[in-house]
Amino acid sequence: MEKTFLMVKPDGVQRGLIGEIVSRFEKKGFQLVGAKLMMVSQELAEKHYAEHKEKPFFGELVDFITSGPVFAMVWQGPNVIATARQMMGKTNPVDALPGTIRGDFGVSVGMNIIHGSDSPESAERELALWFNDKGTVDYEKTINQWI
Ligand code: DAT
Ligand code: MG
**DSSP string for residues in 2-41:** -EEEEEE-HHHHHTT-HHHHHHHHHHHT-EEEEEEEEPPP
75 pLDDT band, cuts 50/70/90, is very high
What is the 8-class DSSP label of residue 100?
Answer: B
Is domain 3-134 in CATH 3.30.70.141, yes or no? yes
**Helix or strand or coil: residue 46?**
helix
pLDDT for residue 59: 97
Shortest-distance ligand to the CA of residue 108: 1
Which atom from ligand 1 is nearest to the alpha carbon of 51? 6
Q: What number is the ipTM of this complex?
A: 0.97
Q: Quick check: 135 pLDDT over 90?
A: no
Give strand pairing partners of 100.
98
**Per-residue b or e along 48-72, where b marks 16 or more CB atoms closer than 10 Å to that residue's CB:** bbeeeeeeeebeebbebbbeebbbb
pLDDT digits (tens, 9 = 90+) for 14-59: 999 999 999 999 999 999 999 999 999 999 999 999 999 999 999 9
Please give the share of the chain, as a percent, with pLDDT higher than 90.
97
The residue to mutate among 46, 51, 91, having the most atoms of ligand 1 within 8 angstroms of its beta carbon, is 91
4 is in an annotated binding site: no
Q: Quick check: 131 pLDDT over 90?
A: yes
Report the Cα 64 to chain-centroid distance in Å: 15
Q: Which amino acid is at 136?
A: T
The residue to mutate among 47, 102, 109, having the most atoms of ligand 1 within 8 angstroms of its beta carbon, is 109
Compute the mean pLDDT over every residue in the chain, rounded to the nearest whole number.
97
136 is in an annotated binding site: no
